Amino acid sequence: MEIYELSLSDVAEKIKSKEVSPVEVAQSSLDRLAEVEPAITSFVTVTGEHALAQAAVAEADIAAGHYKGLLHGIPLGVKDLYDTAGILTTSSSAQRAENVPTSDSASVAKLSEAGMVMIGKTHTHEFAYGATTPTSGNPWDPTRTPGGSSGGSGAAVGAGIVHVALGSDTGGSIRIPAGLCGTVGLKPTFGRASRAGVASLSWSLDHVGPLTRNVIDAGLVMAAMSGYDRRDPASVNLPTPDFVTGIDGGVAGKRIGIPTNFYNYHVEQETQDVARRAAEVLQGLGAELVEVEIPLAEYILPVEWGILTAEASAYHMDALRRSPERFTEEVRTLVEAGEVVLATDYINSIRLRTRIQEAWRDMYSSIDVLLAPTVPGVAALREDPYFRWDDGVVEGATSAYSRMSAPANVTGLPALQVPAAFSATGLPIGVQIIGKPFHEAEILQVGFALEQATDIVGRIAPVATAAVPV
């Protein structure tokens, strides 16, 4: 078995025991990248020399007895929204084609301090404003979308290039590509991890988090990313948690919420069946299934878009006037549309978000976590990114994918995507586990139990090595 095929924990053990060196691990990732990247184009910038230099430092530190922990020497992909000192950071946009930051974003700095080795910058849907990442292909079928906006990160982890990649999540942009590419994706509670140095889409909905091969990996990386940072106004001053200890505690007695509305509208039958079977697996492990009605469901998406579009347009206001031609037509249209959102509509969206958060808090008085499909269907074709529902509705992929994940952004609750099955056509299908505020450890525990009961999590896509024209 090649090094890149091993789990993070297995690689970490080999690095710690000096059976393999961080340089060998980094080279294995770079070799895998060279093999599959022509088909999936997951990276906008590859930092091979930088990665090998970082790996050499890690090797020297470990040889000198300065082992930093399980992340030391592990390959990392970084979504191109995150600032990286001295390395091009474009947000996959011509607006920032020459942007080279002078300092690292908070998360990159923390993971670098933990000894991780950055392989490169992964593609994002331009400025994270979309859920398909047109530049990249899905590792399970490169003619299909990897999702977005963290599509490059999802593809890179799903293809086995890196063990971990960073994403951001404003309307599902960690969980969507994780679900479509067959990886684990963790969106923490709003305020858990600093967003300093990450290009914003919507400051009051943005979250940062990891995409990984398995649930334990997500907990390890999230713990390293967490912590108070006064540079982020939303940052919450809480102790940095240990998300992994006790993760194998099981689900006996856990109350699993099964939604009776919202998450079953315009959802492919195969996807619904996977979510139902996942619930039954947890029930078989001792959990209690509790049917719940999603409160104020009809207002969730209007609130999400009422806030997001206004805040995104405020962020891009100067660029829209200075160099509108440097946006793609799709994103420029969205930014222009956000400028006509009334201030009263924006304020009312914020007020209604508070009511939704309060109603969800009440819902959680009867459950511990909510279990639902991550996205309504498998990865759409890149040439035809639409869903055609039985009632005649034609829905764009960005709308379809984000409507399933938006509730966790509007509420700010932690959410974990876990692979649960493969479709009849061989494409990944996942479920998301949504928890109470700052209960990341609990959703990881439920996700770990589900992971251990299947053989789905941790699979690497057998990417074709030939380029796929789109």
Rounded CA-CA distance 188/180 in Å is: 19
Rounded CA-CA distance 203/226 in Å is: 18
Residue 177 and residue 401 in contact, taking contact as beta carbons nearer than 8 Å: no
Pairing of strands 369-373, 255-259: parallel
Catalytic residue among 21, 28, 91, 149, which? 149
Among 213, 113, 107, 214, smallest CA distance to 161 is for 213
Q: Element (H or E) spanning 169, and its range?
A: none
Place of tokens 């939704």: 356
Place of tokens 């906008």: 44
The neighbour count for residue 238, using CB atoms within 10 Å, is 13
Catalytic residue among 21, 79, 93, 110, which? 79
Rounded CA-CA distance 468/38 in Å is: 8
| Beta strands in 261-350, from DSSP E residues, in sequence order | 288-292
Residue 99 and residue 175 in contact, taking contact as beta carbons nearer than 8 Å: no
SS3 247: coil
Sign of CA dihedral 329, 332, 336, 337: positive
Catalytic residue among 91, 92, 150, 173, which? 173
Is there a catalytic annotation at residue 149?
yes
- By annotation, the residues acting in catalysis are 79, 149, 173
